[in-house]
Amino acid sequence: MYKTAVAAGDRSRIASLQFLLRFMLLASSYLAFGYLGIQLATLSYGISLIWPPIGIAIALLLRWDLRLWPAIIAGGIPLEMLASNRDWLFGLQISLSSAIPIYLCCSLLRQFSFDARLEHQKDLILFGLIAILGCPALLAFMGVALLTWHDVIMVTDFFTAWWNWLLGDITGVLIFGIALLTFDLNRLAILFKPGMLLVFGLMLLLGMELFVWQATPFVLALSLLPVLGLIWIAMRTNLAVTSWVVLLFSCVAGYGALNQAGIFAGLPDPPLGTWLYITSLGMASLIVAVTSMENRLEAEQMRYAIGATNLGTWDWRMDEDRIEVNDNWFRMLGQPPRSGEIRFVDFAELLHPQDRDPTQKAIGQYLKGQTDQYRLRLRMRHANGTWRDIQSTGAVTERDFRGSPLRMCGTHMDITEQLQTRLELDKTYNFLNRISEQIPGAIYQFRMDAQGHASFPFANGAIEKLLGVTVEKLRETAQPCFANIHPDDLPGFLESIEESRQNLSLWRAEFRVNSPRIGWREAYSRPQRLEDGSTLWHGYITDISERKDMEIRIQNLALTDELTGIENRRAFLNQLEQEWNRCKRHGGPPSFVIIADIDHFKRVNDSHGHDVGDKMLCHFTALIQQSIRRNDSFGRLGGEEFGILVTDSSLEDIQALAEKLRATVAASPLRIQDGLELSLTASFGIARLKEDSAAFDDALLRADRALYAAKHSGRNRVCMENSHGDPPSARA
């Protein structure tokens, strides 16, 4: 930890020292080149048409640190004191009028994500608008306004002084600013190539002839040669080289203007002529340099991209019958990599004999406009004698004035391995399908992406019979599968998938589908998380309709009385407990329990046998069922004793119902063989379901006591709990 603190302290001291050195360098450069600009002043009021300090300041602030802007003031105060012979306060005002626009200019460029390398036209345009035009205009206005306020410049000369100041600042940014901004020794190294040095040397000689010697009688005709030379350099190098060549050439022109020599010496305003010449030369060459550099950069990126993808490129000049191809074009055919030219007949000889006519036909149809694109799979001979599958694509890139194609460019891509892989995958897929056809179910992959979109990337054909959706639709989306699930099962089905997705837990579900026929399905799958955040399940689904039917039958047997088909004692008690719990939670209209018992049932069994007794039980069950509501529970509690659970009723209604049941039973004797009828009566005990009871079957006990009271009172009676006499509706 101590070493870390020491290292951090060392870095801080180095950074502070570096900041101080840069501050001193910027201040001294501003002072030195400003003094040089004053010495080169060719206009009134000491205004120069080349003002290097502004370009130097903008370049160094952008390259180093905007916090160095006070260095402009530090260098500007002594500069203005030397230039005007005034006190430091005057120098401070003029320096501030220069520092503020420069700082604003650099800050604005930073906000627009300006790239100081100026490798793209957008950055050059941004720099031109803000640094070359905007900053000088503001700086010149503020400077001239201050000089006018101090009576250094007459008010009548305000616009002229502003215009001259503006021109000098523009030249300073254009010539010095860009040169310093793009300075890079690695980029400047290209200037020292023999061809570049020769052109550069000739340009300097021409500059000396144009602006210093004027030894030849046709010197004016030579004024265009530097333009051609500079553009030649700009097209073949970079902005750093071009800007420094412009800087050095401008120094020669400036020297001639200072000595009132050169091709513009005879003009009414020689400095302005020189300014226009070098500014136009600089702007044109810099624009050409940036454009060429951007084009070369795009070409290099395209070349590297093509090289990385192993694409072969071809460029067919139809009128010359030559095709330029790159290294990869030869390499994919097993030939030594080289860039070169072939003829169309050479290309045709490499084609598989069966592909030659189709290839020429496809090209002809495309050139005639019969097809929208040229795209063809063909076979070409490899150096080892094998045939490679090639995907060929192309388009017309040049036409003559009649619209006829002159040039067509395209690519070749070796897809041999891809086709072999696809063939192997098809074999594997067919094999899996044949195996899965022998399985009584379907195997599948289910995928859900991070956004919740679900699909089945793989499923065998059996899944269509199980889910009622084709494999093709399931590959696109799982929504048709979800739509086919029973509405009562769908919410739980989706919740279980989400839980498995979040926890990566084994997924199992039983659910019903509506088609191709209503039935039960069971699915198992195990999830895994993919790199893109999606989840992939591998699983198995089968039809469990028969098993579920069996389970339902077994469940019904466990809860149904075998003789009468109504609820058995267990099922009835379950219903009673659920209703008691509901009453405790929610209250509401009262519920009642009725216990019914067939009178003298033992005599029937003893006199007529158990078969007749069973018929009497079923007859009694049918009579009760047709007289109660469908939502009332009715069960056999044992022997000849039955229970009825009536919900949402009242004391008057329950008594009326019980009396109705008693009367219906008494009026419906059981008919047996030979026209013999057995009279049938029953006794009924009623009890209310109380929320404050200790147990749910408390009402059953109270109803049983009421039933006992009815039996004790002579049978064929209806008694409420705690009642021991015959109610008005009872009869023997």
What is the spatial distance between Cα 397 and Cα 406, in angstroms, rounded to a whole number?
A: 8
Q: Which two tokens stand for residue 200?
A: 């550069």
List, for residues 131-172, the tens digit of each pLDDT value. Answer: 888 999 999 899 889 888 888 888 888 888 888 888 888 888
Q: Looking at residues 322-346, what average pLDDT do you find?
A: 84
- Stated as kind and residue range, the H or E segment containing 53 is helix 52-63
Residue 589 CB burial class (10 angstroms; 0-12, 13-18, ≥19): exposed
Q: What is the pLDDT of residue 307?
A: 63
What is the spatial distance between Cα 472 and Cα 131, in angstroms, rounded to a whole number?
A: 61
The single residue of 567, 579, 640, 721 carrying the catalytic annotation is 640
Q: What is the pLDDT of residue 291?
A: 78
The answer, yes or no, to whether residue 728 has pLDDT greater than 50, is no
Average pLDDT, the chain: 84
Q: Which two tokens stand for residue 32?
A: 């030195």
Going from the C-alpha of 555 to that of each of 512, 560, 630, 678, the distances in angstroms are: 18, 8, 21, 35
The SS3 assignment for 714 reads: coil
Q: Which two tokens stand for residue 157?
A: 């000369």
Kindly report the pTM of this predicted structure.
Answer: 0.49
- For residue 104, the Cα-to-chain-centroid distance in whole angstroms is 38
List, for residues 386-404, the tens digit of each pLDDT value. Answer: 999 999 998 888 888 888 8
Q: Quick check: bond before 270 cis, omega within 30? A: no
What is the spatial distance between Cα 552 and Cα 132, in angstroms, rounded to a whole number?
A: 89
Beta bridge partners of 507: 525
Q: What is the dihedral of CA 118, 120, 121, 125, to 10 degrees?
A: -40
Q: What is the pLDDT of residue 9?
A: 65
Beta bridge partners of 520: 512
pLDDT band for position 727 (50/70/90)? very low
For residues 630-648, b (16+ Cβ closer than 10 Å) or e, as one string?
Answer: eebbbbbbeebbbbbbbbe
The answer, yes or no, to whether residue 731 has pLDDT greater than 50, is no
What is the spatial distance between Cα 236 and Cα 250, in angstroms, rounded to a whole number?
A: 20
What is the spatial distance between Cα 239 and Cα 684, in angstroms, rounded to a whole number?
A: 111
The answer, yes or no, to whether residue 622 has pLDDT greater than 90, is yes
The answer, yes or no, to whether residue 730 has pLDDT greater than 50, is no
The SS3 assignment for 372 reads: coil
Q: What is the pLDDT of residue 729?
A: 37
Residues 6+ apart with CB under 8 A from 363: 374
Q: Looking at residues 674-684, what average pLDDT do you find?
A: 87
The answer, yes or no, to whether residue 289 has pLDDT greater than 50, is yes
List, for residues 440-450, the tens digit of each pLDDT value. Answer: 788 889 999 98
640 labelled catalytic:
yes
The answer, yes or no, to whether residue 82 has pLDDT greater than 90, is no
- Do residues 637 and 624 touch, judged by C-beta distance below 8 A? no
Beta bridge partners of 381: 387
- For residue 287, the Cα-to-chain-centroid distance in whole angstroms is 38
CB atoms within 10 A of CB 452: 9
Q: What is the pLDDT of residue 228?
A: 78
Residue 405 backbone zone (phi > 0: left; psi -120 to 50: alpha; other: beta) = beta
The helix-helix angle for 270-309 and 225-236 (nearest 10°) equals 30
Q: Looking at residues 514-531, what average pLDDT do you find?
A: 89
List, for residues 453-509, the tens digit of each pLDDT value. Answer: 999 998 888 888 888 899 899 999 999 999 999 999 999 999 999 999 999 999 999
What is the spatial distance between Cα 82 and Cα 72, in angstroms, rounded to a whole number?
A: 15
Residues 6+ apart with CB under 8 A from 66: 103, 106, 107, 110
